[in-house]
Structure 1
Amino acid sequence: MSTTEVSSIELERRAYRTARGRRSALISVVSTLVFLAAVVLLLINSPGWERVRESFFDPQTAIDALPKVLVGLWLNIQVLFFAVIGVAILSTLVAIARTLRGPVFTPLRLLAAGYTDVFRGIPVLLVLYLIGFGIPGLGLTGRIPVQVLGTIALVLCYSAYVAEVLRAGMDAVHPSQRLAARSLGLSHGKTLRLVVLPQAVRKVTPALMNDFVSLMKDVGLISALGAVDAIRAAQIEVASVANFTPYVVAGLLFVILAWPFIRLTDWISARAQKREQIGGVV
């Protein structure tokens, strides 16, 4: 039985790469600490630091505001949950409509293209105002909760962006994949569902995750309609104690909520890049 032995040259290369990696890590840690120390010293030595610290970083105010801001954050999470479901459904339908072939589907393609053009061009906050105050103004139904109206507005806005991302992923799937699926007897619908969409989603997963993180932040805009979410709860606390610390608390909670998904997005992007570069020389 033969065994594979590593040559001395390869061992030297591995030792060199290990030492270089440790040296790079050490430099990164030291430079980061130096930068943070410089920022802290700059802030502390600023003329107005004491006033800013009392207005934005008061510990007792943060402790008092945290429970109410957490209750508001739960509303943001609920809106995010239903908005993600709505965006996934509507954006997929719009992306499919934009990729339909044949002159008979021209009205659908034009409608989908017009939808994406309009809602990618209008600011999210303006759409929230139009939906949040326009739909109740029609008087077609009874009172609609503002969080429902906010969810509808977010779904309309983000579906336009996600639909374009999905369409780009679908167009990136080689036409031979479609032809092979059709040659096997799959219908157009099954070809999309079993062959095209899975590959398209895998190609654009990092972009989709970035849109999800952006949506996670923008759910806080429902406070503009009067919903008592984390931002509105912080605003109420700021008005009652005349201190801006609750805003910092709300911001930190949103960062904590988004951080795992941001790291997941980076990991997915790095893995996809590594998979694409297998066998290549960089």
Structure 2
Amino acid sequence: MTSPLVDAAWQPSPLELSRRALRRRATTRSVLLALLSTLIVTAVLVAVVANTPGWTVVRETFFDPKIGLASVGPIFQGLLVNLLVLVIAAVCVALLGTLLAVLRSLRGPVFFPLRLLAAAYTDFFRGVPLLIVLYLVGFGIPALMIFPRMPAMFWGTIALVISYSAYVAEVLRAGMEAVHPSQRVAARSLGLTHGQTLRIVVIPQGVRKVVPALMNDFVSMQKDVGLISVLGAVDAVRAAQLQVAETFNFTPYIVAGLFFVILSWPMIRLTDIVTARLNRREQAGGIV
């Protein structure tokens, strides 16, 4: 070991200092070039769009600041409904998706009916568009008259859970199958049951492998939660539709879209950060 005095007295060599300065200059040049190219492309796009024949009509119809500011309040109130549905649906999707993934990973002929049901569920609801699931759940189940009258937000949440749990189940199953079989064998040799092996060994490692894919599914659900408006729920999209009906102007749709962008942008950036971090760990030989 080197002594603390030697560590404290260490200074980078002139060659290392020159390399650092070169890297700083290269980084600065790259940032300036990226900024300049972005400004040029933006200016060209603005000039092209502003000089189109119908730009004046489009600007008045879609980008009216007065109407946009007036619609912010009602649309934000509707966005709170979307947030509530999103939180509830995300928790339920995580639970149901994990259950389906576990059912599909059960081994042995005695569990074949459960595996078959889970596979049929995931195959069917991954193939059916979410909009059709919303119609089937929101209008079909209440028509059976076996449940008390429930708000449209409730049925929209159920439809989201049914549809997205199929996607999340397949992502989780892929992560669980990516865990090396030796991990299961080692856990069973230590006396763990099949359920304990899944809960303690397989599922934690499998989830870690598919974190970026799960986060992307969550980002997608953040957008699709706006589709519950087709059932009559007064969310951000429905509130924008009501404002459009009052003003005969489409600016409220732009406001609603911006709200959804603001809602999803932090998770999008977090997904990129987590993905880059996992890639660095994998390239460095760490455990992902």
Alignment pair present for 1:37 and 2:63: no
The residue aligned with 2:243 is 237
The residue aligned with 1:63 is 69
The residue aligned with 1:10 is 16
Give me the whole-angstrom Cα distance separating, in 1, the residues matched to 2:285 and 2:166.
37
Give me the whole-angstrom Cα distance separating, in 1, the residues matched to 2:40 and 2:111.
61
The residue aligned with 2:121 is 115
**Superposition deviation, residue 12 in structure 1:** 3.3
Question: The residue matched to 1:220 in structure 2 has which SS?
Answer: helix
Give me the whole-angstrom Cα distance separating, in 1, the residues matched to 2:284 and 2:11.
24
**Superposition deviation, residue 182 in structure 1:** 1.5
Question: The residue matched to 1:63 in structure 2 has which SS?
Answer: helix
Alignment pair present for 1:167 and 2:173: yes
The residue aligned with 1:86 is 92
Task: Return the letter of the residue paired with 1:256.
Answer: I
Question: The residue matched to 2:233 in structure 1 has which SS?
Answer: coil
Give me the whole-angstrom Cα distance separating, in 2, the residues matched to 1:279 and 1:234.
50
Structure 1 ranges of 4+ moved more than 6 A:
none
Residue-pair matches, total? 280
Task: Return the letter of the residue paired with 1:234.
Answer: A
Deviations 1:138-163 (A, max 9, x none): 01122111111111111010000000
The residue aligned with 1:97 is 103
The residue aligned with 1:185 is 191
Structure 1 counterpart of 2:80, from 70, 74, 78: 74
Map 1:189-268; keep pairs closer than 5 Å: 189-268=195-274
**Superposition deviation, residue 56 in structure 1:** 0.6
Alignment pair present for 1:276 and 2:273: no
Give me the whole-angstrom Cα distance separating, in 2, the residues matched to 1:50 and 1:166.
50
Task: Return the letter of the residue paired with 1:83.
Answer: A
**Superposition deviation, residue 70 in structure 1:** 0.7
Deviations 1:109-159 (A, max 9, x none): 111110010000000000000011110110112211111111111101000
**Superposition deviation, residue 8 in structure 1:** 4.1
**Superposition deviation, residue 247 in structure 1:** 0.2
The residue aligned with 1:127 is 133
Identity of aligned residues (%): 62
- Give the aligned CA root-mean-square deviation in angstroms: 1.4
**Superposition deviation, residue 279 in structure 1:** 6.2
Task: Return the letter of the residue paired with 1:265.
Answer: T
Relative to the length of structure 1, the TM-score reads: 0.96
Residue segments in structure 2 that go unaligned for 5+ positions in a row: none
Give me the whole-angstrom Cα distance separating, in 1, the residues matched to 2:168 and 2:122.
9
Deviations 1:64-107 (A, max 9, x none): 11111011111111111110011001000000011111111111
The residue aligned with 1:21 is 27
Structure 2 counterpart of 1:155, from 161, 186, 189: 161
Question: Greater shift after overlay, 173-182 or 158-167?
Answer: 173-182
Give me the whole-angstrom Cα distance separating, in 2, the residues matched to 1:203 and 1:279.
14
Give me the whole-angstrom Cα distance separating, in 1, the residues matched to 2:266 and 2:35.
22
Give me the whole-angstrom Cα distance separating, in 2, the residues matched to 1:84 and 1:191.
25
Residue segments in structure 1 that go unaligned for 5+ positions in a row: none
Question: Greater shift after overlay, 271-280 or 74-83?
Answer: 271-280
